[in-house]
Amino acid sequence: MAIELNRYVKRYTTLSSLIDTLENERIVLLDPSSWHDKNDVYFMELYREKCGANSVSALCFTKAAETYHHWKIFTQGMEGVCIEFEKAKLEQDLSLSAFAEHREINYCKIKDLQSDHFKSVNDLPYLKRIGFRDEGEWRIVAKSHDEVRPTMPIPISLSSISRIIINPWMPPSLVKNIRKTLKKIPKCNNIRIVHSRLINNEEWKNFGSSIAKRIFL
């Protein structure tokens, strides 16, 4: 299971962001100043200052399996989608960028920061408090020295996308229409598009029914 989870990284995002990725063959790193975790925002700003950069952008992914938490926290209800990438292929795309870096997040307790383990300013964008560890985050970070950039697009190959997952609240009829529309985008016909069954799985419910038939109160 650990090997399988290390093979993919997932980006929970909006349908409009997905369309931008597919049509323009890119991912867009964003300004972290609006993140909910203000400790994280502070560390990113420290990193920018110490590197002498005019701006720092980032994009967050997860290596974890699908959870209700990811859908509720990182997407916007029926507009939510998850783009699953093959990690090795995405890393190959990133290697062609002159300014993009990527690492897994290191989840720590405050006392861990007081040790000599973290000595480099380059650690700052990849440190979070241990209370966030269930996110299983993998992050792309890029800095700009020439100008302030609120966003930073990075080209990718669509072949790095292993599948697209539509949020579990979307009615099946809309999923069908969205799948049809997305597959009309150039180079997207062979991308696998599935509907999350996290909260409404027939196999799970059938198992419950079989238990109910066998058990007598």
Record the tokens describing residue 56, joined without a space.
């720092």
Going from the C-alpha of 106 to that of each of 32, 47, 132, 179, the distances in angstroms are: 18, 16, 10, 36
State the number of CA atoms in the 13 A half-sphere of 24 facing the CB. Answer: 12
Q: What is the pTM of this model?
A: 0.91
State the number of CA atoms in the 13 A half-sphere of 162 facing the CB. Answer: 13
Q: Which pLDDT belongs to residue 5?
A: 62
Lowest mean pLDDT among 91-100, 171-180, 195-204: 195-204
pLDDT at 185 over 50: yes
Residue 38 pLDDT level (bands cut at 50, 70, 90): very high
Lowest mean pLDDT among 45-59, 60-74, 78-92, 197-211: 197-211
Residue 112 pLDDT level (bands cut at 50, 70, 90): confident
The whole-angstrom distance between residue 132's C-alpha and the CA centroid of its chain comes to 14
Alpha helices in the chain (DSSP H): 2-7, 15-24, 38-51, 68-74, 87-94, 110-113, 172-182, 202-214
Determine the 3-state secondary structure of 37 from DSSP: coil
Q: Which pLDDT belongs to residue 176?
A: 96
Q: Which pLDDT belongs to residue 209?
A: 87
Amino acid at 85: F
Q: Which pLDDT belongs to residue 216?
A: 60
pLDDT digits (tens, 9 = 90+) for 118-148: 778 999 999 999 999 999 999 999 999 988 8
Q: Which pLDDT belongs to residue 1?
A: 45
Q: Which pLDDT belongs to residue 217?
A: 59
pLDDT at 215 over 80: no
Among residues 125, 103, 107, the alpha carbon closest in space to that of 53 is found at 125
Residue 85 phi/psi, 5-degree rounding, is: -110, 150
Q: Which pLDDT belongs to residue 77?
A: 84
> Are the beta carbons of 43 and 51 closer than 8 angstroms?
no
Quick one: average pLDDT of 158-176? 97
Instruction: Provide the mean pLDDT of the chain.
Output: 92
pLDDT at 6 over 90: no
Residue 175 pLDDT level (bands cut at 50, 70, 90): very high
Q: Which pLDDT belongs to residue 89?
A: 97
Determine the 3-state secondary structure of 166 from DSSP: strand
DSSP state of 135: G
Determine the 3-state secondary structure of 162 from DSSP: strand
